[in-house]
Amino acid sequence: MSVWLWIILTLIVIGAVGWAFRAVGRAIRPGPFFRDMPFGVAYGYALAVALLLGGVWLWTLPNAIFFRWAVEGFFGFSIAAYLFRLLGRSVGTAWTRKMFRAMPLTAAFGLMVILIYAVLAIFAGVIAPHGQSEIFPLANVVPGGDPAMGGNPDFPLGTDQIGRDILSRLIYGAQNTVGIAFATTLIAFFLGGSLGFLAATLGGWLDQLLSRMVDVLMAIPSLIFALLLMTIASVWAGGEKGLLTLYMVLIIAVIDSTRVFRLARAVGQNIVVMDYIEAAKLRGEGLGYLVFREILPNATAPLLAEFGLRFCFVFLTIASLSFLGVGIQPPLADWGTMVRDLAQFINFAAFAPMVASAPLLAAGSIALLTVAVNFVVDWMLHRSSGLKE
Amino acid sequence: MTALVEIKGLMIEGRSDETWSPIIKGVNLTLNKGEVLGLIGESGAGKSTLGLAAMGFCRDGVRISGGSVMFDGIDLLNASAAVKRSLLGKRIAYVAQSAAASFNPAHKIIDQHTEAPVQHGVMSRADSIKDGIELYRRLRLPNPDEIGFRYPHQVSGGQLQRAMTAMAMSCRPDLIIFDEPTTALDVTTQIEVLAAIRDIVAQFDTAAIYITHDLAVVAQMADRIKVLLKGDEVEEADTRTMLSAPKQDYTKSLWAVRSFERPTKPAVPAGAVPVVSVRGVTAAYGKAVVLHDVSFDIHAGRTVAVVGESGSGKSTTARCITGLLPPKSGTIAFDGVTLPADYRKRTKDQLRQAQMIYQMADTALNPRLRIGDIIGRPVQFYSGLTGAKRRERVDELLDQIELDPRQYFNRLPSELSGGQKQRIGIARALAAEPKFIICDEVTSALDQLVAEGILRLLARLQDTLNLSYMFITHDLATVKAIADEVVVMKDGHVVEQGPKAEMFSPPHHPYTDLLLSSVPEMDPDWLTNLLSERGLDNIGDAAVDKM
């Protein structure tokens, strides 16, 4: 009961502070800003200040190590993104410099993270200190590299239960997970996009057929469906791990293409009723010209936004499948599998944060890329004037 | 007597591409109680912005950078939000251009009507409903007792516009701002709305600012007229002086627009094969028959204007001719050869011969293609020219529509004005080297000066290229300017057809008569005379229903 009392009391105090803030503002600075400020806004200001103070207080607590990491990460990445943007503004061609000048900080951050991931993925073999399936006799080394805490300077992010270097596996994971997710998303877009536009342009029975098929596919929960198909595929593939990965790419691509189909069809239907499409039809243009020259350029903005989201979903689906054991097969490093393998360490979070951080490293990599991709897509959307007009 | 609204040296800026550019450049405006001021000008002249500023309001991305707006002694620009809230809706009301888009489709009309009076504490809800019904009666809406209890989509456009005027009147405001209230309406409907607005404004002695680009309309409504051009005031005078003796050249040019008229052409020689021949066409959307036995001919080098209200089947006729809507019965012949009903079955050459220019240039041009490609594609598609030759032909076409090729070749449609876009639409049609062009309301979305430029261009192209036009329009001034022959349509029937001279001189078919007499004239007494001629009680709906 006392907790509720405290919460109510705090909210009342914040309200009083907000009211006082507005009253003082009105007395000091005449003008429309304070005069027309509704109480709700004043309350919001007070609440924001209270939350900020609460954050600072939390920061000073010795146990709030994850919170401290989050704050440090936030500021660290902000500064890095700012510097990255500065760099972009001073080097490169006139075009890229102009692009960086108009770029918001979020987009710079996203671009920077994606670039880092790309470099890591491409040069994984050179950068990673060890091989992805190399097993050392030291299992369960705690991340941090501090021997007093159970770490080892040779393995800065520790080792997993059978003694593989986590840092190396994270780097190789970028190659496997991101590369496969990207390929899958591309296939899903090619499939869903072209069929969706086709359905929108031709309409009639083809539209009905495709749409109902998509409805059927969408009616089945996607993860369970994928799991089911993967089980069948693993029988077909036999022991061929490469073949199984290919099956996985195709299965996820088909399942995800249903969502892309719906979007492409909806967007396409809005475009095909335009007069310029009618003009092109009356000119006698073929289907290819209609779809690729008239419809596609006008549908890029929503499709791009969907690409950003879809990429993240595919990524998470692969991670989930790997987590369930039917995705990317060991010994290939994959972030989803890594989270699964180290998951039980999360139980130590309350008293040994460094131990518990082991599974969070791979999870954090996924989260960071997801955020970065979406920042970049938001910015591209804005640039391609989908939101500007 | 102090003025109700006094605007002094008002400066307004709009934000585009990160910079602020002026929209209104120091305009003064005074409005007395019970007076109606007409604001006219082209689109982009700042009429609406000025109208909204008179309420102390500006749209997003626009800011008031100087001057003052006084409403009955209250400084609106420095008034607190609370003070403004107590004024807007109660003492100042606004009637928007499109009532259909401004009503909330999810609520009944009367519920939206009572909102302001109840909010402002002027009346109880029950009183407000009673008052609303009374207003509907005064605005001569059909079934005033129950029309308010319908949803907006269950009421026609003209009725909705009157309901919106009633809504603005609900608190008996001192000032109403009418922003192009009749622009989206047919001429026959426009009359009813104009008469209703004029009467009710006079009855309650309300001051009004009437914004429009139609001179003839403003002549009926306003006591004084103010002409705006690119954010500057051109001149201001009372209506009669302004109409009879405009001082500035710009105003004179506005007045002169309506004088464009082409000379009558000699009669078509007997036995000539028409370019397009529509014979007994009946067409339907599903089961609803929208065209009944439509027949007419279009001869080489001639313009046939198809007139009628919205819903009369004008555009459907065009869709039948282009083959987008295969008719149920009847034939379309081109140069004496019957065409397949469906455009997909026509040959490339048959498609090339008939081109179309659309009403909304915005949706008729692909916003992602550059001008050079929009015009270049039909050139390449039909004549197979590529590279430098294609470029040469596109330049030639751009020259023909009086746009500089070097300047416009690489632009996107969004970088052009409305009139320029419409010219690109014309160039795209010309690129196919057609014999026949369907012009679907090509000037109705344009300002009068710009529209006149387009009409002159079309006329010149017709003379040099011997083109035939089918000109769909609801504007009889346009018909007078460009047509050789006229086809009047109503409810999918051809009511009357013949040469222009015959059509514009009596005797008429009653519907043609109604249509002709409904076109506003520049005479400020026109509306009064017309209403007394028709008898005040049966204007509008009643008159149409009798047909």
Per-residue pLDDT tens over the stretch A110-131: 999 999 998 988 888 888 888 7
Residue A52 has pLDDT above 90, yes or no: yes
Residues B237 and B304 in one domain: no
B427 touches A: beta carbon within 8 Å: no
The pLDDT tens digits for B135-154 are 888 887 888 888 889 888 88
Give the A:B interface size as CB pairs under 8 Å.
Answer: 55
- Residues in chain A within 8 Å Cβ distance of B368: 297-298
- Closest-CA residue of A relative to B81 is A36
Cβ pair A36:B81 closer than 8 A? yes
- Are residues B249 and B297 both part of a single domain? no
Of B80, B364, B382, which is closest to A275 when you measure between CB atoms?
A: B364
Instruction: Work out the minimum CA distance from B343 to partner chain A, whole angstroms.
Output: 7
CATH of the domain at A180: 1.10.3720.10
Mean pLDDT of A186-212: 92
Average pLDDT rounded to a whole number, residues A31-55:
88
CB < 8 Å to A388, chain B:
none
What are the φ/ψ torsions at residue B306 (nearest 5 degrees)? -105, 115
Q: Name the residue range of residue A322's domain.
A: 166-383
How many structural domains does chain A have?
2
Mutation target vs B (from A35, A267, A275; most B CBs, 10 A cutoff): A275
Give the CA diameter of chain B.
76
Contact B369 A36 (CB under 8 A): no
pLDDT of residue A64: 78
A279/B356 Cβ within 8 A: yes
Is A331 inside any structural domain? yes
B314 and B350 part of one domain? yes
Distance in angstroms (rounded) separating the CA atoms of residues A256 and A223 = 11
**B454, B306: one domain:** yes
Do residues B121 and B221 both lie within one domain?
yes
Is residue A146 assigned to a domain? no
How far is the alpha carbon of B89 from chain A, nearest alpha carbon, in Å?
19
Annotate B164-176 with DSSP letters as a single string. HHHHHHTT--SEE
Mean pLDDT over each residue of chain A, to the nearest integer: 85
In a shared domain, residues B287 and B222: no
CB contact under 8 A, A293 and B428: no
Residue A181 shares a structural domain with residue A303: yes
pLDDT exceeds cutoff 90 at B47? no
- A339 plus A211 within the same structural domain: yes
Residue A387 has a pLDDT of: 43
Residue A268's pLDDT is what? 92
Average pLDDT over residues B332-358: 89
CB contact under 8 Å between A298 and B366, yes or no, is yes
Cβ atoms of A82 and A106 closer than 8 Å: no
Question: Do B248 and B301 belong to one domain?
Answer: no
Query: Which chain B positions have a beta carbon within 8 Å of A290's beta carbon?
Result: none
Same domain for B287 and B251? no
Q: Which residues in B lie closer than 8 A to residue A389 (C-beta atoms)?
A: 414
Is the pLDDT at A386 greater than 70? The verdict is no
Window from A13-17, A188-192, B4-8, B244-248 with minimum mean pLDDT:
B244-248
Q: Does A283 touch chain B (CB under 8 A)?
A: yes
Please give the backbone phi and psi of residue B47, each rounded to the nearest 5 degrees, phi first: -60, -55
Chain B hits for A202, Cβ within 8 Å: none
- Regarding whether B462 and B497 lie in a shared domain, the answer is yes
Q: Please tell me if residue B16 touches chain A, with a CB cutoff of 8 Å.
A: no
What is the tens place of the pLDDT at every residue in A355-379? 778 888 888 888 888 889 888 888 8
Contacts of A298 in chain B (CB under 8 A): 366-368
Examine residue B14 and state whether it is found in any structural domain, yes or no.
no
Query: B266 lies in a domain?
Result: no
Structure tokens at A7: 């919460």
Q: Across the interface, do A282 and B364 touch by the CB < 8 Å criterion?
A: no
The verdict on A3 touching B (C-beta cutoff 8 Å) is no
Based on the fold, state whether residues B188 and B303 are members of the same structural domain: no
**Which residues make beta-bridge pairs with B75?**
B70
Residue A108 lies in a domain: no
Place of tokens 């000109």: B471
Q: Which of A273, A276, A292, A296 should be substituted to probe chain B, the one whose Cβ sees the most B Cβ atoms within 10 Å?
A: A276
- A385 band by pLDDT with thresholds 50, 70 and 90: low
Nearest to B368 among A32, A283, A298 (CB): A298
CATH of the domain at B90: 3.40.50.300
Say if CB B320 and CB B281 are below 8 A apart: yes
pLDDT greater than 90 at residue A258: yes
Find the domain containing B317 and state its range: 276-505
DSSP one-letter string for B25-69: EEEEEEE-TT-EEEEE--TTSSHHHHHHHTTT---TTEEEEEEEE
**Is the CB of B323 less than 8 angstroms away from the CB of A282?**
yes
Q: Is B322 on the interface with A (CB under 8 A)?
A: yes
Are residues B285 and B225 located together in one domain of the fold? no
Pair (A184, A305) in one structural domain: yes
Q: Is B143 on the interface with A (CB under 8 A)?
A: no
Instruction: Tell me if chain A has a CB within 8 Å of the CB of B153.
Output: no
Locate A296 and state its tokens.
């596609």
A 99-158 residues with CB < 8 A to B: none
Given a cut of 60, whether residue B1 has pLDDT beyond it is no
For residues A211 and A328, membership in a common domain is answered with yes
Contacts of B351 in chain A (CB under 8 A): 282-284
Domain count, chain B: 2
Q: Are residues B226 and B283 in the same domain?
A: no
Lowest-confidence pick of A61-70, A208-217, B87-96, B251-260: B251-260
What is the average pLDDT score of chain B? 85
| Residue A133 is assigned to a structural domain of this protein | no
Residues of A in contact with B414 (CB under 8 A): 389
Chain A environment of B343 (Cβ under 8 Å)? 281-282
Domain stops at, among B256, B285, B300: B256
CB contact, 8 Å: B1 with chain A?
no
Say if the Cβ atoms of A298 and B378 lie within 8 Å. Answer: no
User: Does residue B75 surpass a pLDDT of 90?
Assistant: no
Residue B38 predicted with pLDDT over 80: yes
Whether residue A213 is contained in a domain is answered as: yes
Is residue B514 in some structural domain? Answer: no
**B515: in domain:** no
**Is this complex's ipTM strictly greater than 0.85?**
no
Q: Report the 3 state secondary structure along chain A.
A: CHHHHHHHHHHHHHHHHHHHHHHHHHHHCCCHHHHCCCHHHHHHHHHHHHHHHHHHHHHHCCCCHHHHHHHHHHHHHHHHHHHHHHHHHHCCCHHHHHHHHCCCHHHHHHHHHHHHHHHHHHCHHHHCCCCCCCCCCCCCCCCCCCHHHCCCCCCCCCECCCCCEHHHHHHHHHHHHHHHHHHHHHHHHHHHHHHHHHHHHHCHHHHHHHHHHHHHHHHCCHHHHHHHHHHHHHHHHCCCHHHHHHHHHHHHHHHHHHHHHHHHHHHHHHHHCCHHHHHHHHHCCCHHHHHHHHHHHHHHHHHHHHHHHHHHHHHHHHHHHHHHCCCCCCCCCCHHHHHHHHHHHHHHCCCCHHHHHHHHHHHHHHHHHHHHHHHHHHHHHHHCCCCCC
Cα distance from B391 to chain A (closest Cα, Å)?
19
Q: Which of A272, A283, A287, A289 best tests the B interface by mutation, with the highest count of B CBs <10 A? A: A283
What pLDDT digit, counting tens, does each position of B313-339 carry?
888 899 999 998 899 889 999 988 888
Confirm or reject contact between A279 and chain B (CB < 8 A). Answer: yes
> In this complex, do B363 and A276 lie within 8 Å of one another by their Cβ atoms?
yes
Q: Is residue A178 domain-shared with residue A51, that is, in the same domain? A: no
Q: Examine residue B474 and state whether it is found in any structural domain, yes or no.
A: yes
